[in-house]
Amino acid sequence: MLKLLGARQLGSRDVPDVLRALAADPVATCMVAARVEEFGVDPRAFQGEMWSRGRAASSLCFSGANLVPLRGGFEDIRAFAERAARAPRMCSSVVGRSELALPLWQLLEPEWGPAREVRPDQPLLATNRASAIDPDPHVRQVRPDELESYLTAAVAMFIEEVGVDPRASDGGRGYRRRVAHLIAAGRAWARFEDGEVLFKAEVGSMSRGVGQIQGVWVNPDRRGEGIGAAGTAAVTNAVIASGRTASLYVNSFNTPARRAYERVGFEQVATFATVLLH
């Protein structure tokens, strides 16, 4: 086993320090910052724990459905790995800045076993300017009564991107709730044609300063027509209009997507890594 180095769980008194730490790296920490801003760090509402080896400004990690190292040096990463390895694994992935996520995984792999897939090079992109190309005027927020059509596209995207069916564990109830919540919150966007989705994307996380776009997908029969770039431009403009920076991350090997995002105006601000677990 790894040596215990003392990562502790943070509580309500630590929230101001946590928020300041996250605000220092707003694009990379958007996923976690959105949760802390809404729920604080109470595990019951937060659906996870926030760990630190000392001060949040220099040592911080989120543990929940994903394990997300946020700040720290090697000793902090060791402490996070030890704490994660002590309890039954709850997360489905390790994700974050590559310089933090990959060393954390190297320490955890002997405890948790081989990963299903390691994606070590995922450019993290951001823009705070309106799209450099014309947005698709047909892309709009999805209505609640369009859940079934949208869900079909969302499942197809998830299988293509992650390699597993999100309906496998519980018949799709959890994923359906997640998608329905995004639609109800006005954070799911699509272009429909004859009742089918041609383009979809969501603002999966929305902190006070950043909206992180995820789940970008184009119907395979219509790829290569510029639908993805124009659709992403529409969602990006909506995020910018809300007063936030738009961000997303993409696999380095996905050349068509990277070109589309570059056309929209996104620039790389960091590199993420994702370790998908069995």
pLDDT at 4 over 50: no
One domain for residues 99 and 194: no
Over the stretch 201-257, which tens digit does the pLDDT of each residue have?
Answer: 999 999 999 999 999 999 999 999 999 999 999 999 999 999 999 999 999 999 999
What is d(CA 264, CA 15) in angstroms, rounded to the nearest whole number?
35
- DSSP result, 194-205: TTEEEEEEEEEE
How many domains in the chain?
2
Domain holding 45, by residue range, is: 8-113
Residue 227, domain CATH? 3.40.630.30
- Residue 94, classed as helix, strand or coil, is strand
Over the stretch 27-53, which tens digit does the pLDDT of each residue have?
Answer: 999 999 999 999 999 988 899 999 999
Question: Does a structural domain hold residue 91?
Answer: yes
For the whole model, what pTM was predicted? Answer: 0.95
Over the stretch 68-105, which tens digit does the pLDDT of each residue have?
Answer: 999 999 999 999 999 999 999 999 999 999 999 999 99
Question: Does a structural domain hold residue 105?
Answer: yes
Average pLDDT of 190-197? 97
Q: pLDDT grade, residue 63 (50/70/90)?
A: very high
Boundary-marking domain end, from 113, 132, 165? 113
Question: Does a structural domain hold residue 128?
Answer: no
From residue 146, alpha-carbon distances to 66, 149, 192, 200 in Å are 29, 6, 10, 12
